[in-house]
């Protein structure tokens, strides 16, 4: 599902968000044509990715539904790790799944840099071997202490340990990698919801940006 683009126009000391660029400023009614560069429509980059096109990544999506399909910001999230072909390995009360669909709208955090040649080659084998471990049998699942996040982070830490690198705690990984992405996603979801209900969403600029 292609999501509708969100555009930003800057005029009247405000950011005006919309789906289609308006001919006139919705705040003052003046024409936007010829109003200078800030008034030119700028497309906001979407924070969401098609998970099955993101190799060797940590993915995050709502357990039910999609981020732009009614997610309320409080419902449970589900995480997984992709192999080099975009198959999403994820763990829940039924054990390990290798999903080829269902992760079309995710937050994606790449885990392997392009110069890590050895890891690029070994990734699929490491992920598969890790996933058949006894720790990930269905009866071991525990909603709060042994869940999809435990699985994904344990795999990441096993890769770090094998390379002699320091492992990460859940709070460290979340703070460093997940929170910056979820903050962006949260802002985008708010804009999407506002523009589903209204043609424009107008946000006054903080004083230091008002020269524009």
pLDDT higher than 80, residue 207:
no
Q: 3-state class of 34 per DSSP?
A: coil
Token pair in block for residue 188: 């985008």
**Phi, psi for residue 178 in degrees, rounded to 5:** -85, -45
Q: Is residue 81 part of a domain?
A: yes
Token pair in block for residue 65: 């539904």
DSSP for 68-135, please give it.
Answer: TTT--SSS-EEEEEE-TT--EEEEETTEEEEESSS-SSBEEEE-S-TT-HHHHHHHHHHHHHHHTSGG
Over residues 25-46, the pLDDT tens digits come to 998 999 988 888 878 899 999 9
Q: Which domain holds residue 140?
A: 48-167
CA 47 to CA 178: how far, in whole Å? 12
Provide the percentage of residues in the chain whose pLDDT is more than 90.
78
Q: Is residue 41 part of a domain?
A: no
pLDDT band at 1, cuts 50/70/90? very low
pLDDT band at 208, cuts 50/70/90? low
Q: Is residue 2 part of a domain?
A: no
Mean pLDDT of the 83-101 span: 97
Q: Is residue 93 part of a domain?
A: yes
Q: Is residue 89 part of a domain?
A: yes
Q: How many domains does the chain have?
A: 1
Tell whether pTM > 0.85.
yes
Over residues 138-174, the pLDDT tens digits come to 999 999 999 999 999 999 999 999 989 999 999 999 9
Mean pLDDT of the 181-200 span: 94
Mean pLDDT of the 103-115 span: 92
Token pair in block for residue 38: 């800030």
pLDDT higher than 90, residue 75:
no
Mean pLDDT of the 180-193 span: 94
Q: Is residue 203 part of a domain?
A: no
């Amino acid at each position: 599902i292609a999501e509708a683009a969100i555009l930003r126009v800057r005029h009247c000391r405000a950011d005006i968000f919309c789906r289609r660029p308006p001919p006139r400023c919705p705040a003052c009614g003046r024409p936007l044509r010829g109003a200078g560069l800030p008034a030119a429509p700028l497309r906001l980059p979407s924070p969401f990715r098609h998970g099955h096109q993101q190799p060797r990544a940590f993915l995050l999506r709502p357990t039910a539904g999609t981020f732009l399909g009614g997610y309320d910001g409080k419902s449970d999230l589900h995480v997984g790790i992709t192999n080099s072909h975009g198959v999403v390995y994820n763990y829940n009360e039924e054990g390990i799944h290798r999903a080829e669909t269902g992760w079309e709208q995710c937050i994606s955090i790449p885990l392997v840099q392009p110069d890590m040649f050895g890891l690029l080659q070994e990734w699929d084998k490491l992920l598969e071997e890790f996933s058949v471990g006894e720790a990930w049998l269905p009866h071991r699942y525990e909603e709060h202490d042994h869940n999809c996040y435990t699985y994904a982070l344990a795999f990441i830490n096993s890769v770090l340990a094998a390379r002699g690198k320091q492992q990460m705690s859940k709070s460290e990984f979340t703070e460093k990698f997940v929170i910056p992405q979820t903050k962006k996603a949260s802002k985008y979801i708010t804009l999407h919801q506002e523009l589903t209900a209204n043609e424009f969403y107008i946000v006054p600029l903080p004083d230091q940006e008002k020269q524009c």
